[in-house]
Amino acid sequence: MSSPVSVEDAKAAVRTLLEYIGEDPSREGLRETPDRVIRSFAEIYGGYNRDPTSVFKTFRDGSERVDEMVVQRNIPFFSNCEHHMLPFFGVAHIAYVPDEEIIGLSKFARLVEVFARRLQVQERITTQIADSLMQHLKPKGAACVIEASHLCMVQRGVKKHLSDTTTSALRGVFLEGPTRSEFLRFIQQMPRRPVF
């Protein structure tokens, strides 16, 4: 993770936070915590170092007669909200209608990871996924629906344990008519799989 802040400064900030909550960063169980936190940040926030274009390996071979919807449901993800830096997690459902090119199916999950591994709001990550598909794949349309639970609502604040949030971003042929209805029907056919 590249940053204008040094690793040592970041570790010092973690030690300060430990002291702030009333802990002793020098006690045995916490001595290595600053290093562990900084290493985990490199993974959790690794999306800042990834360009969405890096996942768009497309193919013309195989797309010649494909003019129907491609849907991938229940892509699990974890992210962190930018308001409280607490996790939110759930599943993304992604679809597109190819024009001249198709994309490898694993790339959907990689695209979700690029945007999920940043400080986020659910509304933004949903539109970023749909807009990236439109920009880099140039399909007839793209759609993303995300269903997620937010620890900022579960663990603190209103403490509503069973609430979840659904956001959608529909582009091109998904904006209206039968393609929109078909996509929404597809993603409702099966219940959401647990992320854990």
Catalytic-role residue among 81, 101, 120, 128: 81
Catalytic-role residue among 72, 136, 152, 182: 152
d(CA 51, CA 120): 16
144 noted as active-site residue: no
Give the DSSP letter of residue 187: H
Catalytic-role residue among 83, 123, 135, 188: 83
Catalytic-role residue among 93, 128, 144, 150: 150
Contact 37, 15 (CB under 8 A): no
Catalytic-role residue among 72, 84, 147, 182: 84
Catalytic-role residue among 93, 101, 122, 128: 122
d(CA 196, CA 194): 6
CA distances (Å), 23 to each of 15, 26, 31, in order? 9, 9, 11
Catalytic-role residue among 64, 82, 100, 123: 82
122 noted as active-site residue: yes
93 noted as active-site residue: no
161 noted as active-site residue: no
DSSP lists the bridge partners of residue 82 as none
Catalytic residues: 81-84, 122, 150, 152
